[in-house]
Structure 1
Amino acid sequence: MEVTPKILPNGRITLTLQISQNMPGRSISRADGEALAIDKQEIKTQVTVKDGETIVLGGVFQRQSAQGADKVPGLGDIPLLGSLFKQSTKQHKRRELVIFITPTLIKA
């Protein structure tokens, strides 16, 4: 996160904000082996606030999906009856990055 403040003559504060979130992405097969892609999400904005006001930034979302299966060894592989000894799971997660910033002027 990069924050560049600028104090205006009227006592307000202009903030230039750049917020980024990097997450591991998919594996990519290359001639020299596997490589991991990086998924990057970024917000760039500028806001002017009064001294002590709080800014709330959101909009950087992350979604994850996972699948899994558990089974009783041996019994889970029996045709037709095997499904009685298996369990499949699916999980979906959605997250949002929310940042609160409160600029405060320090009087000298």
Structure 2
Amino acid sequence: MPVPMTTFQPIATGGVAQQPITSFNYENIGVNIDITPRTHHNDDVSLALKLELSSISGSGFGGLPTFGNRSVTTVIRLKDGETSILAGLIRDDERTVLEDLPGLSAVPVLGRLFARNRRERQETDIILTLTPHIVRVLDLTEADLRAFRVGREGASPFVELPPIDTPPRDIKK
């Protein structure tokens, strides 16, 4: 969403008069999710999760919008196909709404008969379900883990990697 920002610059060097310069900054509004998965050897998946909810919360000086942000950062470890629920980003909005008949509500003294103020309260909660699925599992063989040379020929020894016990895995379809 574009948000106008106004700054003031002097018109001439040493002058007192200022010229307004308006530029626009863009703000992300809505739900932004950043997930970084990491698989483990036993088909567990760790999810580094950052969830941000941003919205226009009102208007400030000069009618410019003000923004409300809610965020959560966490790490969740789940089995392949297991579901987790993330909730609790609750927001309460309360506002006063004027309902009136145009023109008649502006009449002095009688205007109150044609208008009323009503209070609205709205509670919002975001519920997010996460279910990781491992799409591909690499089967490592001894040939994949054999020693290899690093650097120039004859200048460095072989780099030995420790043996890895890899149990056979069934690929789920």
CA distance in 2, matches of 1:5, 1:95: 28
Give the structure 2 partner of residue 52 of structure 1. 81
**1:1-108 matched pairs, under 5 angstroms:** 1-29=33-61, 33-72=62-101, 73-74=103-104, 77=107, 79=109, 84-107=113-136
Note the residue ranges of structure 2 that are not aligned, 5 or more in a row: 1-32, 138-173
In 2, Cα distance between equivalents of 1:15 and 1:84:
58
Computed over aligned residues only, the root mean square deviation of the Cα atoms, in angstroms, reads: 2.3
TM-score (norm 1): 0.79
| Alignment partners' CA distance in 2, 1:106 and 1:77 | 69
How far apart, in 1, do the equivalents of 2:60 and 2:112 lie?
A: 34
**Stretches of structure 1 lacking an aligned partner (at least 5 in a row):** none
Deviation at 1:95, TM superposition (A): 0.5
Alpha-carbon displacement from aligned partner over 1:14-50 (angstroms, at most 9, x marks no partner): 1100000011123232xxx443222111100001111
Between the aligned residues of both structures, percent identity stands at: 20
Please tell me the residue identity of whatever aligns with 2:54.
Answer: N
| Native 8 Å contact 2:104 2:114 kept in 1 | no
Shift, 1:75, TM fit: 7.2
Cα distance in 1 for partners of 2:64, 2:105 equals 38
Q: Which has the larger radius of gyration?
A: 2
Counterpart amino acid of 2:87? Answer: G
Structure 2 CA distance, aligned partners of 1:20 and 1:106? 27
Residue pair 1:62, 1:96 contacting (<8 A) in 2 also: yes
Tell me the secondary structure at the aligned position of residue 60 of structure 1.
coil
